Amino acid sequence: MKMNNAYTPKRIRGMELLSPAGSLEALKTAVLYGADAVYLGGEMYGLRAKARNFDRSQLEEAVEFAHQYGVRVHVTVNIIAHNDHLDGLGEYLQYLDSIGVDALIMADAGMIHIARTVVPDMEIHLSTQASATNYATFNFWAAQGVKRIVAAREVSLKELAEIRSHTPENLSIEAFAHGAMCISISGRCLLSSYLSGRDSNLGMCSHPCRWKYSLVEETRPGEYFPVTEGEEGTYIFNSKDLCMIEYLPEMIQVGVSSIKLEGRMKTPLYVAMVTKIYREALDDLAEDPALYRSKLGYYKEQLSLVSHRSYTTGFYLGQPGPEDQVYSSAAYIKQIDFAAKVLKSGEKELLIEQRGKFLKGDTLYALLPGRKPEPVSISYIRTETGEETDSAPHAQEHLYIPAPEMPVPEGAVLVKDSK
């Protein structure tokens, strides 16, 4: 898919917006909505084994596509490796280098050493999984040839400022600004291994922190005593989702040069909305800080529409209390659904690929890069064979619908209100 209206950001000098790409479709969506860079995983060595990761042909297409629009591609190679994981690593890293991958995201010291040996010119970023929380650690990894460090999520803005003042200027700092939070230190969790036999440090986490728990007394097995936080019980390991949309100026001020969005397991709708809003916020901030501040309500409103848990600022503003971090449900909040993706855009009608059921007479909304959502009134639905229909119930069916007055780019996401 060649996108004819990929968004051109205004950019804050030296600032990067880094979006997740759990699939080729999500990658193209992130590019359309203004990402400066994307991060993704291949079929090996990444920490999202359940994502629709990229095989080699998809990796090559992803790099070629992203580079058409000046977007960098960072590949996760960030498992905590055991001996047998090292077999084939050198060949894989050389392959990534040969297809033009811009950076490797790595956590294991031995794997980083191998990378420095076999692909010495490849840019290496230290994963948040490595738990870098102080300037001495940042300086150590800089001395090993690491060009960027993804700060541990347990670091505050105050600590980041101190880290920046004690580290080389050419060492880039990346920090998460939005998305799911892990209850464990930098994601180094053993719950999944113990409870389901799936190693989270090898990318196979079963997310037991999201399960509902009761209390069992040792001498009375089988008797479950409720530990009640609310009517549904307790979710004592749950975390709220991170949202730093109100604190982008502070993140920039303390020296963060890459704003990272979590979500390689999320849908293209999620990637579209979160990338779009953070792109708009950074662009507005670049144009005029007063404009950015005036639109904070709009940014927050839009981010509340997409699937999420209650939001928190995590550790950035200081040590969070239970009310700031723990979330009393495993459910997501959402107000919109993925209705369709635009395959071809014309002046009078759109060719779409349907993703969620909608009806003739409904109103959909086109998420437009850099602009407010545009309503799309469904006065008719027509199949590719020219037949009129009153509904679109079949997933991924190609259909024609009326185009709104505002041009809609190919690849754009159409949403509908959740009911």
User: Are residues 39 and 102 located together in one domain of the fold?
Assistant: yes
Question: Are residues 66 and 144 located together in one domain of the fold?
Answer: yes
d(CA 404, CA 365): 10
Look at residue 329 in the predicted model and tell me its pLDDT: 56
Identify residue 58 by its one-letter amino acid code: Q
Do 255 and 401 belong to one domain?
no
Q: What is the pLDDT of residue 331?
A: 61
Q: What is the pLDDT of residue 238?
A: 73
More confident site: 227 or 152: 152
Q: What average pLDDT score do residues 314-328 get?
A: 73
Instruction: Tell me, yes or no, whether 160 and 31 share the same domain.
Output: yes
pLDDT at 250: 97
Mean pLDDT of 235-255: 89
Model confidence at 12, pLDDT cuts 50, 70, 90, reads confident
Residue 101 shares a structural domain with residue 26: yes
- pLDDT tens, residue by residue, 270-311: 999 999 999 999 999 999 999 999 999 999 999 999 988 888
Its domain, for residue 372, covers: 336-417
263-278 tens-digit pLDDT: 888 899 999 999 999 9
Asked whether the predicted pLDDT for residue 9 surpasses 90, the reply is no
Task: Out of 276, 295, 325, pick the residue that ends a domain.
Answer: 325
- Asked if the structure places residue 143 within a domain, the reply is yes
Last residue of a domain, one of 281, 301, 325: 325
Establish if 11 belongs to a structural domain: no
Rounded to the nearest 5 degrees, what angle is found at the Cα of 172, between the Cα atoms of 170 and 178?
165
Among 300, 325, 350, the domain-final residue is 325
> Is the domain of 314 the same as that of 359?
no
Distance CA 307, CA 241 (A): 10
Q: Is the pLDDT of residue 1 over 50?
A: no
Span 68-115, pLDDT tens digits: 999 999 999 998 888 988 999 999 999 999 999 999 999 999 999 999
Can you give the CATH number for the domain in which 56 is found?
3.20.20.380
Look at residue 368 in the predicted model and tell me its pLDDT: 94
User: What is the rounded average pLDDT of the residues 198-225?
Assistant: 73
254 lies in a domain?
yes
Spell out the alpha helix ranges (H) of 119-152.
Answer: 135-143
Q: Is residue 405 part of a domain?
A: yes
Kindly report, residue by residue over 172-182, the tens digit of the pLDDT: 999 999 998 77
Supply 410's token pair. Answer: 């190919």
Identify whether residues 264 and 291 lie together within a single domain.
Answer: yes
Same domain for 24 and 93?
yes
- The total of other beta-carbon atoms located within 10 Å of residue 81's CB is 20
The two three-digit tokens of residue 204, written as one number: 């196979």
- Is the entire prediction scored with pTM above 0.85? yes
Assess whether 135 and 25 both reside in one domain: yes
**Residue 5 covered by a domain:** no
pLDDT at 219: 86
- Number of domains comprising the chain: 2
Q: Answer yes or no: is 389 within a domain.
A: yes
User: Domain for residue 288, yes or no?
Assistant: yes
What is the distance between the alpha carbons of residues 320 and 109, in angstroms, rounded to a whole number? 30
Residue 380 sits in the same domain as residue 304? no
Residues 371 and 299 in one domain: no
In a shared domain, residues 249 and 374? no
- The answer to whether 227 touches 236, Cβ cutoff 8 Å, is yes
Mean pLDDT for the chain overall:
88
Give the helix/strand (H/E) hosting 381: strand 381-383
Q: How far is CA 120 from CA 83, 128, 150, 324, 384, in A?
A: 22, 22, 20, 43, 51
Q: Which two tokens stand for residue 393?
A: 């119930």
State the CATH number of the domain containing residue 395: 2.40.30.10
In a domain, 271, yes or no: yes
The number of beta carbons lying within 10 Å of the beta carbon of residue 83 is 7
Residue 51 pLDDT exceeds 80: no
